């Protein structure tokens, strides 16, 4: 089955992405917090992608996609729909290449993420906060501009770029027993599973979703994509349904998917901030919530978590 998904994304694609994006993205630190280890009876390692360019791991996939384009393809710019972090990342990558970025964002997008996209030079079109509205608006812009769609997750170039975070993580932390990854559209966990298992085949890659946006959890168990139900969660970066490409890789390479409560996400954010000094957005706190809510076995194990983003609203907003 791994051979089947290799036609979507393989170790070579992740390695090529790492070389391509190296001049543009940050090699983010891996940190430990001994107080957490003592309290939880395990070794925890945090990959700080909330310190990445644009405040999220999304820069990796965006830069890989944009700098994969030929001159002819890039000429009319790039188009995407995003709740914020992919939009910011794509705007930054497009600016670095000197091409326009047209971004569709939901009208209820986080203000800090809207500000980030505009600061990066992105051209925003707002739409209703539904997957259908986002896709329709992006399609209209593609027709108008002739640009290239860079999907926020269901894109081989994006998936390969996201996988570079796990490769860096394991180069520094060494072999882990479990790697916990937030799941929205599946781009990060797809790339992570490919990159991590190529280096350490026995590592368990476990996805974590909010209970209010658990399409991947349902689909993983049913063996088919489940796009039913409305996503309702504070973790705005995880409200997307899985794509066809990402689901195929998840089905074959990911070991499990678990869910966490909204209260657990808030508790995890607070704990990371107040006890760990790590200021992250709700989506990034989801893996730590899985540990605090005992959704994964951690006793005596080496556990890695990718802190995916740090774009939070200022206090008082």
Domain check: are 166 and 242 in the same one? Answer: yes
Domain check: are 123 and 145 in the same one? Answer: yes
Domain check: are 197 and 63 in the same one? Answer: no
Domain check: are 172 and 33 in the same one? Answer: yes
Q: How many domains does the chain have?
A: 2
Query: Which of 149, 170, 202 is a domain's end point?
Result: 149
* Position 95 in a domain: yes
> Does the annotation count 83 as an active-site position?
yes
Report the pLDDT averaged over residues 64-77. 96
pTM: 0.93
User: Exactly one of 83, 110, 190, 240 is catalytic; which is it?
Assistant: 83
Task: With a cut of 80, say whether residue 1 has pLDDT above it.
Answer: no
Domain check: are 72 and 133 in the same one? Answer: yes
Domain check: are 169 and 223 in the same one? Answer: yes
CA distances from residue 79 to 1, 9, 74, 261, 286 in whole angstroms, order as listed: 32, 22, 11, 33, 28
User: Exactly one of 47, 58, 113, 197 is catalytic; which is it?
Assistant: 58
Taking Cα atoms as reference points, which of 264, 271, 216 lies closest to residue 238?
216
Domain check: are 132 and 191 in the same one? Answer: no
On the 0-12 / 13-18 / 19+ scale of CB atoms within 10 A, 139 is middle
State the residue range of the domain holding 111. 59-149
Task: Round to whole Å and give the CA distance between 258 and 238.
Answer: 14
Domain check: are 136 and 203 in the same one? Answer: no
Query: Which of 149, 170, 203 is a domain's end point?
Result: 149
> Does the annotation count 76 as an active-site position?
no
Q: 3-class SS at 259?
A: strand
Of 237 and 29, the structure prediction assigns the larger pLDDT to 29
Q: How confident is the model at residue 314 (pLDDT cuts 50, 70, 90)?
A: low
Q: What is the pLDDT of residue 79?
A: 97
* CATH code where residue 275 lies: 3.40.50.1100
Q: How confident is the model at residue 3 (pLDDT cuts 50, 70, 90)?
A: low
* Position 313 in a domain: no
Task: With a cut of 60, say whether residue 316 has pLDDT above it.
Answer: no
Portion of the chain with pLDDT greater than 70, in percent: 97
On the 0-12 / 13-18 / 19+ scale of CB atoms within 10 A, 270 is exposed
Query: Which of 110, 134, 149 is a domain's end point?
Result: 149
What are 94's two structure tokens? 């497009």
Among 131-135, 224-228, 311-315, which range has the highest average pLDDT?
224-228
Domain check: are 76 and 195 in the same one? Answer: no
Domain check: are 281 and 292 in the same one? Answer: yes
100-124 residue pLDDT tens = 999 999 998 888 889 999 999 999 9
The answer to whether 308 and 56 have CB atoms below 8 angstroms apart is yes
42-61 residue pLDDT tens = 999 999 999 999 999 999 99
Q: What is the pLDDT of residue 317?
A: 39
Report the pLDDT averaged over residues 157-185. 97
Task: With a cut of 80, say whether residue 208 has pLDDT above it.
Answer: yes
The answer to whether 204 and 177 have CB atoms below 8 angstroms apart is yes
Q: What mean pLDDT is reported for the chain?
A: 94
84-104 residue pLDDT tens = 889 999 999 999 999 999 999
């Amino acid at each position: 089955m791994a051979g089947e998904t290799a036609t979507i994304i393989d170790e070579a694609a992740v390695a090529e992405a790492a070389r391509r994006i190296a001049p543009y993205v940050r090699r983010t630190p891996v940190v430990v917090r001994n107080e957490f280890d003592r309290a939880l009876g395990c070794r925890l390692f945090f990959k700080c992608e909330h310190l990445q360019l644009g405040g999220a791991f999304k820069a990796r996939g965006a830069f890989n996609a944009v700098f994969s384009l030929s001159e002819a393809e890039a000429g009319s710019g790039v188009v995407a729909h995003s709740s914020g972090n992919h939009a910011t990342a794509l705007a930054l990558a497009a600016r670095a290449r000197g091409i326009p970025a047209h971004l569709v964002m939901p009208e209820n997008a986080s203000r800090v993420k809207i500000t980030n996209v505009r600061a990066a030079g992105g051209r925003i079109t707002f739409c209703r906060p539904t997957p259908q509205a986002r896709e329709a608006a992006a399609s209209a812009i593609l027709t108008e501009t002739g640009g290239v769609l860079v999907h926020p997750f269901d894109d081989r170039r994006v998936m390969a770029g996201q996988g570079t975070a796990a490769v860096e993580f394991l180069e520094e932390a060494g072999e882990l027993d479990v790697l916990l990854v937030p799941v929205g559209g599946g781009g990060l966990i797809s790339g992570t599973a490919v990159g991590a298992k190529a280096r350490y085949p026995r590592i368990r890659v476990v996805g974590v979703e909010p209970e209010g946006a658990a399409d991947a959890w349902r689909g993983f168990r049913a063996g088919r994509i489940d796009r039913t139900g409305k996503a309702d969660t504070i973790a705005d970066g995880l409200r997307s349904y899985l794509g066809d490409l990402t689901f195929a890789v998840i089905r074959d390479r990911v070991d499990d998917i678990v869910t966490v409560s909204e209260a657990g996400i808030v508790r995890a954010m607070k704990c990371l901030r107040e006890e760990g000094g790590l200021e992250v957005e709700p989506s990034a706190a989801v893996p730590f919530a899985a540990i605090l809510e005992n959704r994964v076995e951690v006793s005596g194990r080496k556990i890695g978590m990718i802190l995916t983003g740090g774009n939070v609203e200022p206090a008082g907003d």
